[in-house]
Amino acid sequence: MRRRKGHTERVPETIENIRRWASYVCPGCRFVFRVPKGAGGQGILCPGCRRTLKIPTATDAVPELTVASTRAADPKAAMVKRQRQMIKPGGSKNTIWDRKTESPLTTSGGNRQMRLLLAGGIFLFLLVTTGVLVSTHSAKPPAAAELAAIPRPTPQAPPPVVERSEASYLAEMEPIARQFMQATTVAEILPLVRNPAVAEPRIRRTYPDGKIVAPGMTLFNTSGMISTHGIVSAVGVMTRDHEEKAIAFVETPQGMKIDWESWAIWSEMPWAQFLSARPTAAHVFRVILSPVVYYNFEYSDDKKWKSYSLESPDREHVIFGYVEKGSEVDRMIHLDPEAKTLSLMLSLKFNPNCTSKNQVEIERLVTEGWVENADTP
């Protein structure tokens, strides 16, 4: 239950995970902030340094919170340091520059050594100068064609680094979300949705007369944070009926667009029609998956099958889904130890030999989450 402005509002079960928090420390700026539990593997913007971070899962190695010294070990410098701090027998420190030393140039034979050094230096200088002059006159200057053939490096400017803050994302998203949730016709929402060529026939099938009952928006970003995965960013919004929902935005070449399919929980076939027709051809559905122990009829062999409860997003339909143990689909469906449910897009079908009306086979995992092709604009 949530209390807001003097009255109590019921928050749907679909946003329970928003209220289960865990602490996370940014490995870059050491800013401590909260993230939802079970967000392992997802991306999020650090409120401190505005870097995009990946929340580690239970199996990931957590980066150390100490910064290693960037000063390389220099044995020669260490030796000089030791020499500069000499300990007297009495225990007091004295630097090496306080010691009295004799230079060989100040001894009785110093003048002779000085003359020998000067003479050797002059001879070496004359030898090097003569060699340079001889090589300069004997070398053949390169031809113009040879100079032209030498490849010259083309200076390349480094690619621009575009960094956006969380505030800039929210400033772009909010007016789009408000316009989308106030739209009353299909024509009004089409410019706001992602991939309208694909979404339009689906939207018009959902609203045959072209009219939409606008839910309205009373509050934007209800959780106070953005959940990011690749090019998809999701925030919470509240409708006029005090229903809290998640709305997904996708970065496209045309700017931020709304993923209508995940908002409307669209499926290839209505759930009621799927359960009554019991098609043996697979259809894609958005489901809430949770593990159960239920083996019956054609799926009574618990050594062969793994069972799941599949709930429709509106919580009106519940069926049992089965996947063969050890198969690729079985390996792809993974729940974190702390997560009790998982939002997925699954391809489901009925087994023609099964007489049960609520048992289906999971043919394949389309994607994790309810946003299809989350890495594609």
Average pLDDT, rounded, for the chain? 75
Confidence at 284, pLDDT banded by 50, 70, 90: very high
Q: Are residues 221 and 280 in the same domain?
A: no
| Residue that terminates a domain, selected from 264, 282, 305 | 264
pLDDT value at residue 85: 40
In a domain, 231, yes or no: yes
- Alpha-carbon separation of residue 217 from 83, 176, 181, 237, 346 (angstroms): 74, 11, 6, 7, 30
Residue 214 near residue 200 (C-beta atoms within 8 A): no
Backbone angles phi, psi at 256, to 5 degrees: -70, 130
Which tens digits make up the pLDDT trace of 288-342? 999 999 999 999 999 999 999 999 998 999 999 999 999 999 999 988 878 889 9
Lowest mean per-residue pLDDT among 116-120, 271-275, 337-341: 116-120
328 and 351 part of one domain: yes
**pLDDT-based confidence at residue 154 (cuts at 50, 70, 90):** low
pLDDT at residue number 165: 81
Q: State whether 236 and 312 are in the same domain.
A: no
Looking at the structure, tell me whether residues 171 and 34 fall in a common domain.
yes
**Which stretch of 91-100, 104-113, 238-247, 289-298 has the lowest confidence by average pLDDT?**
91-100
Q: Residue 350 is part of which domain span?
A: 271-368
Assigned domain for 234 exists:
yes
Q: Which residue has the higher pLDDT, 283 or 14?
A: 283
Partners of 61 in beta bridges: none
Residue 89 lies in a domain: no
Q: What percent of the chain has pLDDT over 70?
A: 63
For the domain that residue 358 is a member of, what is the CATH number?
A: 2.40.50
Instruction: Give the pLDDT of residue 226.
Output: 87
Residue ending a domain, choose from 236, 264, 292: 264
Q: Does 296 reside within a domain?
A: yes
Residue 189 identity? I
Is 94 a domain residue? no
Among residues 219, 245, 264, which one ends one of the domains?
264
Q: What DSSP letter does each residue of 4-31 carry, written as one string?
A: ETTEEEPPPGGGGGGG-EEEEE-TTT--
Mean pLDDT, range 90-109, rounded to an integer: 38
pLDDT score at 69: 42
Inform me whether the pLDDT recorded for 104 exceeds 70. no
Cα 247 to Cα 269: distance, rounded to the nearest angstrom: 22
Residue 69 belongs to some domain of the structure: no
Q: What is the structure's pLDDT at 31? A: 72
| pLDDT band of 88, cuts 50, 70, 90 | very low
Q: For residue 7, is pLDDT > 50?
A: no
Q: Where is pLDDT greater, at 333 or 50?
A: 333
Residues 194 and 230 in one domain: yes
Range with the lowest mean pLDDT among 6-10, 47-51, 316-320, 364-368? Answer: 6-10
User: H or E element: which one contains 251?
Assistant: strand 244-252
Reply yes or no on whether the pLDDT at 255 is more than 60.
Answer: yes
Place of tokens 């060699």: 131
Angle at 341 between CA 340 and CA 342, to 5 degrees: 135
pLDDT at 21 over 80: no
Distances (CA, A) of 257 to 161, 162, 208, 238, 279: 23, 19, 23, 19, 34
For residues 258 and 280, state if they share a domain. Answer: no
- Running DSSP on this structure, what letter comes out for residue 175? H
Averaged pLDDT, 243-264: 93
Number of domains in the chain: 2
Q: Is the pLDDT score of 270 beyond 60?
A: yes
Provide the 8-state DSSP code for 41: T
Inter-residue contact 323 to 305 (CB < 8 Å): yes
- Let me know if residue 142 belongs to a domain: no
Q: Determine the Cα–Cα distance for residues 288 and 341; give it in Å rounded to an integer.
A: 6
Same domain, 205 and 220: yes
The two beta strands, 255-258 and 318-324, are unpaired
Shared domain for 53 and 200, answered yes or no, is yes
Angle of CA points 248, 225, 178, to nearest 5°: 50
Name the band, by pLDDT with cuts 50, 70 and 90, for residue 71.
very low
Q: Which two tokens stand for residue 332?
A: 């792809």
53 token code pair: 């971070």
- Tell whether the model's pLDDT for residue 242 goes beyond 60: yes
- Same structural domain for residues 359 and 308? yes
- Considering the domain architecture, whether residues 211 and 238 belong to the same structural domain is answered as yes
* Statement: residue 80 has pLDDT above 90: no
Instruction: For tokens 């069926």, name the residue.
Output: 319
Tell whether 197 and 239 lie within a shared domain.
yes
My answer on whether 285 and 209 are in the same domain is no
The per-residue pLDDT for 126 is 52
| Residue 180 vs residue 125, higher pLDDT | 180
pLDDT value of position 27: 77
